[in-house]
Structure 1
């Protein structure tokens, strides 16, 4: 089932056939560096994750993961954690290395933000990233997020303390940004 289409992408439910590709890009140490999982990311874990996602609903509170497809190929995913109040959410995203630097993340996350603000009427969307992940911070800034905080040595990940950057975007800011274009 495709939820959204952009000029180059389809955002859809994960399918069982996606598990090997998901396991492959999550097993890439460069992709996993700033994420919470360890490498290698086992095929069995990817299959279980895809099964879990098959019954998740993007309209219900909690995490939902959109598979991002370009030219019929899974290139990454965008996650949305809808708050219990259904008025705010947190987003995250992961893209395979060969598909980074092509604007896919900007296009996919931008489309999800349009859905969350324009279609769903959310008030606020937040995101956070490892402070060393300049590409992720730049993506959020490019999409109109403002950096709201910098937590120093706030997360213990992969054997080290890391800094977290906190970002936020309000519906009015998104609307003003998209109206100007």
Structure 2
């Protein structure tokens, strides 16, 4: 399972990815809108890498793609897809190291994963983000997602109520945009 783009390789996680995963997921700026707390210990990162490496992108549940910079051969993030039991829809999530943000890598990685997922026959991909995370919302819109709703004070998250933004992308829209 490999997806290559002009600057990235999206691949299965492997044992040596633990330290890089721990580093970018331990950054408080990266973890701010994520479910985990920073720092992420080396042991926790190694356990996550083992779990991610055993995933199957064709089976229901989460699959994490490791995002590697091709030129440097370094892990800089991950893109997760949760395939529903019906295998016709999925949810999307992504994380990128803070020092690699703002360079188009996340957009490139998300587009590549979406292209792969829609060729597998998905009808719809959904995504959610904290309403304060405007860079994430802009990325979703940039790759074709449409804002479908806002749930005010919906999630109790890291000690406060937060608004959730709901996004969706249908295969038909993806095909139109990909032309």
TM-score bracket for this pair, using the shorter chain length: over 0.9
Task: Tell me which residue corresponds to 2:34.
Answer: 35
3-state SS of paired residue (1:111):
helix
1:128 aligns to 2:138 (yes or no): no
Give the Å deviation of 1:121: 1.2
Give the Å deviation of 1:120: 0.4
Task: Tell me which residue corresponds to 2:172.
Answer: 172
1:14 aligns to 2:13 (yes or no): yes
RMSD of aligned C-alpha atoms?
Answer: 0.7
Gaps in structure 2 of 5+ consecutive residues: none
TM-score, normalised relative to structure 1: 0.96
TM-score, normalised relative to structure 2: 0.97
- 1:67-123 per-position Cα deviation (integer Å, ceiling 9, x unaligned): 000020101000000000000000000000111011000100000111111x20100
Gaps in structure 1 of 5+ consecutive residues: none
| Number of residue equivalences | 177
Instruction: Give the Cα separation in 2 of the matches to 1:44 and 1:151.
Output: 35
Task: Tell me which residue corresponds to 1:89.
Answer: 90
Give the Å deviation of 1:52: 1.0
3-state SS of paired residue (1:175):
helix
3-state SS of paired residue (1:150):
strand
